[in-house]
Amino acid sequence: MQQLTITRPDDWHLHLRDGKLLETTVPASAQTFKRAVVMPNLMPPVTTVDMALAYRQRIIEALPAALTFEPLMALYLTAETSADEVKKAAQHPHIIGFKLYPSGATTNSAAGIKSVEALAPVLEVMQEQQVPLLVHGEVTDADIDIFDREKVFIDRHLLPITTQFPQLRLVLEHITTGDAVDFVNGSNDNVAATITPQHLLMNRNDLLVGGVKPHNYCLPILKRREHQLRLQQAALSGSSKFFLGTDSAPHVKANKETACGCAGCYSAPAALELYAEFFDQHKALDKLENFASVNGAAFYGFERNQQTVTLIRKPWSLPASLDTADGVIVPYYAGQSLQWQMTKHR
């Protein structure tokens, strides 16, 4: 196969940041994706509908006129989130749901949740209003090994939540373990998961062998090979419970290459090509369209996009770095070759 045309995809987990950096991040995603769920972990966090709509307007203002793009805004769930705010979010077409960050789990998560159990009243309203809960599924206890934090979060928090609130629509974001695959497969149809390109293409060897590689550092952290294989099997299975969410997260080079480097891989410049690389490696390009363009829209209740995108088999390499208003950013897969290139929309 030398050419592949699929329904234009959506990115169900995306970080755009804010300010002048939007002039880089918005076009990078909009050139490929029709819709994207925009994460709310700014400083200060996006905790209300009004804040989310103001942020959305800044994103729209950074969108080149030639591109069509629909930002779907996630609100940052806090201990102060009210039932009224949930109901307000439920009524607005540009709000997709609430994002649960355990406090300290990732970038700008200090305002996150310290007691998942205390969320029960708000989760009750979210279930009633059919407002999705998007979950960064890791505990942050200092005594829990970083490679076990996803499994512990599932056992300690997600299993009780899905038992207590069986009609709550829940997306476990950027899954990294076989335990997460088993949780999603073992749950009802209200539970789904996103998978990033880095967790399909890499494992912890790619982070640690031969020296720490900070531009492959993300949270949840890359896991061992056996977990990577389980994620690959999930993506290749054709199950509608698993779909594309890049978790593309830009950080300037100076902040990545430090003693306490930032977590996040900026995959937006080649997002669809990275997924095509994975599916092609496994001789499963026929599975790419459902994973990238169908499953997520169906879960969230959206119509399938009418546009298409075309990929051609044409080897190319990502640039070593990108200049932005905030400084130099090293993209995920920098300098490495990809076999597929997106050429056009229709």
Pair type for strands 170-172 and 191-195: parallel
Q: Does the annotation count 179 as an active-site position?
A: no
What count of other Cβ atoms lies within 10 Å of the Cβ of residue 289?
18
Q: Is 219 annotated as a binding residue?
A: yes
What's the CA gap between 285 and 306, in Å, rounded? 20
Active-site residue (options: 247, 286, 323, 326):
247
Q: Is 345 annotated as a binding residue?
A: no
Q: Is 148 annotated as a binding residue?
A: no
Q: Is 190 annotated as a binding residue?
A: no
Q: Is 215 annotated as a binding residue?
A: no
Q: Is 17 annotated as a binding residue?
A: yes
Q: Is 157 annotated as a binding residue?
A: no
Q: Is 13 annotated as a binding residue?
A: yes
CA neighbor of 295 nearest in space, from 337, 216, 239, 246? 239
3 state SS of 7: strand
Q: Is 199 annotated as a binding residue?
A: no
What's the CA gap between 51 and 208, in Å, rounded? 39
CA neighbor of 300 nearest in space, from 107, 5, 94? 94
Phi and psi angles of residue 108, each rounded to the nearest 5 degrees, phi first: 55, 45
Going 273 to 11 to 136 to 60, the CA torsion angle's sign is positive
Q: Is 247 annotated as a binding residue?
A: yes
Annotated binding site for Zn(2+): which residue ranges? Answer: 13, 15, 99, 136, 174, 247
Task: Please give the annotated binding residues for substrate, written as ranges.
Answer: 15-17, 41, 136, 219, 251, 263
Binding residues: 13, 15-17, 41, 99, 136, 174, 219, 247, 251, 263
Residues designated as active site: 247
